[in-house]
Amino acid sequence: MRFTTEQRLDDGVLEREFTLGGIPGILWTPESASAPVPLILLGHPPLGLHKMYPRLVVRARHAAADGFAAATIELPGSGDRPRWAAVEQARADLRRAIDAGERVSDEIIDALVLPLVDKAVPESQAALDALLSLPEISGPVGYSGGVISIGIRLAVVEPRIVAAGFFAGSFVPRTMFEEARQVTIPLHVLLQWDDEGNDRQAALNLFDAFGSVEKTLHANMGGHTGVPHFAGEDAARFFARHLR
Amino acid sequence: MRFTTEQRLDDGVLEREFTLGGIPGILWTPESASAPVPLILLGHPPLGLHKMYPRLVVRARHAAADGFAAATIELPGSGDRPRWAAVEQARADLRRAIDAGERVSDEIIDALVLPLVDKAVPESQAALDALLSLPEISGPVGYSGGVISIGIRLAVVEPRIVAAGFFAGSFVPRTMFEEARQVTIPLHVLLQWDDEGNDRQAALNLFDAFGSVEKTLHANMGGHTGVPHFAGEDAARFFARHLR
């Protein structure tokens, strides 16, 4: 892990870009911390870190205000990373189906999401190895948002992640429902009730499938990007309960 | 309105029993308040105030800690009020259907709930008239919990109620779905995902029907009485946002 840039944000947050095995990432740490802090791994949709930066930095500042580090890495095939023909083909198939007003087939969803999960999850685990070896970060780790299938797989295979906040707003392959049953860590699931890009019933079925004893669904009005401010505060309190 | 008892609870809450037109009620006010306070009207199931007291006083203490008064009145046909033959018949029909493992018919639900709504709502409004005339209470008013159909009707007809927290856990007559569409105040709806006495899909349909621009559903694991502590705190923050 090699840090490439470093800047102090105005609210006492240290922001450092890094690269790890060719994968770009960003780490935010609260400068006021006197002891090693827990970490929240910030997921995001596969639109590239640069494009997602404004939303990521808001989440990172909130994490830092609660005394947590936050980090994120670029997804395979996104941003400045090499393009990935198979996933680009699946995205083109998805767009074509949506433009034609067709139901998005299970085959398209599988081709779009499963390779991403298979590749992104070990990369996230390698990032955790590097991040948790830093003296300023101790764990435990929370996973927040992004592609929900990546979060589900991580919650199943990665014991350092002790709590996860999911955003029910992306296509979920059928096999992920089985993996969801194996999740046992506390979950906080956000659902935008009128999200035009989301199948509400599928999101409710997925929530039902999670094996966790503590799981909470927070549904709010509005579309994909209309999550109300107080819903973000509720999610922050969820992580504060489980990471401190 | 005539106060019949008065006692100071150990955490600075003044508890007074009252009677209003023959209906018993309880009022809790924070003694530390230096100005008139908002009010939360506490709903409860038709099991009688004495039986419900332990749970009501917990909710009232939390309201007082947030700077709010809380009040509740006995439901028609419950507790020390005169028995009500029609509703007792409907309850007997309900028990018989449940014991026989039958689906509870719409007719039984209508007979059980609609007369209660028709009678309890004007009584709650009369209680609001009396409570809001006290110098220590200023409004606005929040409605919390209890028979959800009473809360829906109150939210439609009573403009002094500016926010409502509902518990999706009781039978809802079909006509109440139409009334739900007329509700426009901010809503906070609790759903116990595995509530054995509750039809989850009906609860989700009812949430969908509410006309409010701000409505939030918080679903948690566990049965009817298993609402986690943090869910109560989320509901308290909802009232703090809207009543202060």
A104 belongs to a structural domain:
no
Query: Pairing relation of β-strands A13-20 and A2-8?
Result: antiparallel
What digits encode the pLDDT tens for the residues B181-223?
Answer: 999 999 999 999 988 777 899 999 999 999 999 999 999 998 8
- With an 8 Å Cβ cutoff, are B216 and A217 in contact? no
Which tokens go with B195?
Answer: 């509530």
Q: Which pLDDT belongs to residue A26? A: 98
User: Using 50, 70 and 90 to split pLDDT, how confident is the model at A10?
Assistant: confident
Q: Which pLDDT belongs to residue B10? A: 85
User: Using 50, 70 and 90 to split pLDDT, how confident is the model at B225?
Assistant: confident
Q: Kindly state the average pLDDT of the residues B3-27.
A: 96
Q: Kindly state the average pLDDT of the residues B135-147.
A: 94
Q: Kindly state the average pLDDT of the residues A56-63.
A: 95
- With an 8 Å Cβ cutoff, are B221 and A213 in contact? yes
Q: Kindly state the average pLDDT of the residues A105-111.
A: 93
The one-letter amino acid at B69: A
- With an 8 Å Cβ cutoff, are A217 and B218 in contact? yes
Chain A residues touching B241 at Cβ < 8 A: 230
Q: Which pLDDT belongs to residue B80? A: 93
Chain A residues touching B208 at Cβ < 8 A: 193
Q: Kindly state the average pLDDT of the residues A121-149.
A: 96
CA-based radius of gyration for chain A:
17
* Separation CA B243–CA B121 (nearest Å): 21
Q: Measure in Å the smallest separation between the Cα of A169 and chain B Cα atoms.
A: 16
Q: Which pLDDT belongs to residue A103? A: 86
Mark out the alpha helices in chain B (DSSP H runs): 49-65, 85-99, 106-132, 148-157, 174-181, 200-209, 229-243
Chain A residues touching B204 at Cβ < 8 A: 204
Q: Measure in Å the smallest separation between the Cα of A147 and chain B Cα atoms.
A: 22
Q: Kindly state the average pLDDT of the residues A116-137.
A: 97
Q: Measure in Å the smallest separation between the Cα of A152 and chain B Cα atoms.
A: 19
Paired residues of A21 in beta bridges: none
* Separation CA A46–CA A191 (nearest Å): 19
Query: Pairing relation of β-strands B13-20 and B2-8?
Result: antiparallel
What digits encode the pLDDT tens for the residues A72-97?
Answer: 999 999 999 999 998 899 999 999 99
Q: Kindly state the average pLDDT of the residues B14-36.
A: 96
Chain A residues touching B221 at Cβ < 8 A: 212-216
Q: How many domains are there within chain B?
A: 1
Q: Please list the helix, strand and coil fractions of chain B in percent, rounded to the nearest 5, in that order.
A: 40, 25, 30
Q: Which pLDDT belongs to residue A87? A: 87
Chain A residues touching B230 at Cβ < 8 A: 216, 237-238, 241
Contacts of B12 by beta carbon, 8 Å cutoff, 6+ apart? B30, B31, B32, B64
A185 belongs to a structural domain:
yes
Q: Which pLDDT belongs to residue B158? A: 97
A17 belongs to a structural domain:
yes
Q: Measure in Å the smallest separation between the Cα of A175 and chain B Cα atoms.
A: 23
Q: Which pLDDT belongs to residue B87? A: 87
Q: Please tell me what DSSP assigns to residue A35.
A: S
Residue B241 has pLDDT above 90, yes or no: yes
Q: Give percent above pLDDT 70 in chain B.
A: 100
CB contact burial A203-232 (16+ within 10 A = b; e otherwise): bbebbbbbebebbbbbbbbeeeeebeebbe
Q: Which residue in this structure is represented by tokens 């679903």?
A: B219
The domain that holds A52 is classified in CATH as 3.40.50.1820
**Identity of the residue in A219, A237, A238 whose CB atom sits nearest the CB atom of B216:** A219
Q: Which pLDDT belongs to residue A226? A: 80
ipTM of the modeled complex: 0.83
User: Using 50, 70 and 90 to split pLDDT, how confident is the model at A33?
Assistant: confident
What digits encode the pLDDT tens for the residues B80-134?
Answer: 999 999 889 999 999 999 899 888 899 999 999 999 999 999 999 999 999 999 9
Residues of A with CB under 8 A from a CB of B: 193, 204, 207-208, 212-221, 228, 230-231, 233-234, 237-238, 241
Residues of B with CB under 8 A from a CB of A: 193, 204, 207-208, 212-221, 228, 230-231, 233-234, 237-238, 241
Q: Which domain holds residue A176?
A: 2-80+120-243
Q: Kindly state the average pLDDT of the residues B72-83.
A: 96
What digits encode the pLDDT tens for the residues B104-115?
Answer: 899 999 999 999
Query: Which one of A193, A213, A233, A239 would you mutate to disrupt binding with B, by most B Cβ within 10 Å of its Cβ?
Result: A193
What digits encode the pLDDT tens for the residues A39-58?
Answer: 999 999 999 999 999 999 99
**Chain A residue at shortest CA distance from B237:** A230
CA-based radius of gyration for chain B:
17
B86 belongs to a structural domain:
no
A98 belongs to a structural domain:
no
**Identity of the residue in A207, A208, A220 whose CB atom sits nearest the CB atom of B216:** A220
Residue A169 has pLDDT above 80, yes or no: no
Q: Kindly state the average pLDDT of the residues A21-50.
A: 95
Q: Which pLDDT belongs to residue B145? A: 85
Which tokens go with B213?
Answer: 């621009």
B90 belongs to a structural domain:
no
Q: Kindly state the average pLDDT of the residues B224-233.
A: 84
